[in-house]
Amino acid sequence: MSAGDQWGAEPGAGYAPPKSGAVTTAGILNIVVGALEVLMCGWLMVGGAAIFGAVSSGQNEAEQAMIKAGARPEDLAKLREATGQAGGIFGAIAGFIIVLALIGLVIAGLRIWAGVGVLNRRPWARTMTIVLASISILFILLGLLSIASIQGILFFLIYTGYVIASFVILLNSRNATEFRRSPGAM
């Protein structure tokens, strides 16, 4: 038996293929993009709450000013009716922003969870990452709407890079073999 013969043998029962840097990169990308989404959604929630607070505060201040000026009860009723409509619109906008932020936080949490799973070579995480990358195509289209700003360009580039990298890395058949379970694996 020569020294090189041992390398040609089939792997044993406990053999695990080496981990590629590409799959590790896909996992890290998931975690980084998910963390960025947490930050963006946090800002959205603060913005939605600020809009709602400003509208509520403005309505209260307007009523107090009218009371000090000697407004009649029917004038206050007209003010509440007029500002209630505007407040309703701004309240709806604030609510919509907050709901978008909550959905984004769920997606960010799933993306981070999938990133950890990809780093551990879990088959479900590969599937989840491919699904999340597919959903991110919608984010790319939204980024195209705001491409006139530097934030829009950055948003577009981050999500485009994430989607392309996720598809190229995780749909590669050689990289996909890293996600196959060995008989003793959990």
pLDDT digits (tens, 9 = 90+) for 112-150: 999 999 999 999 999 999 999 999 998 888 778 777 778
Is residue 133 a contact partner of residue 77, using CB atoms and an 8 Å limit?
Answer: no
Is the residue at 7 inside a domain? no
Is the residue at 9 inside a domain? no
Is the residue at 10 inside a domain? no
pLDDT at 69: 76
pLDDT digits (tens, 9 = 90+) for 34-93: 999 999 898 988 887 787 777 766 667 767 777 777 777 777 777 667 666 556 677 777
Is the residue at 6 inside a domain? no
pLDDT at 81: 72
Residue range of the domain that includes 125: 23-177
For the residues of the chain, what is the DSSP string, one character each? --GGGGGGSPP-TT--PPPPHHHHHHHHHHHHHHHHHHHHHHHHHHHHHHHHHHHHHHHHHHHHHHHHTT--HHHHHHHHHHHHHHHHHHHHHHHHHHHHHHHHHHHHHHHHHHHHHHHTT-HHHHHHHHHHHHHHHHHHHHHHHTTTSHHHHHHHHHHHHHHHHHHHHHT-HHHHGGGSPPTT--
Is the residue at 148 inside a domain? yes
The total number of structural domains that make up the chain: 1
pTM over 0.75: no
Is the residue at 1 inside a domain? no
Is the residue at 97 inside a domain? yes
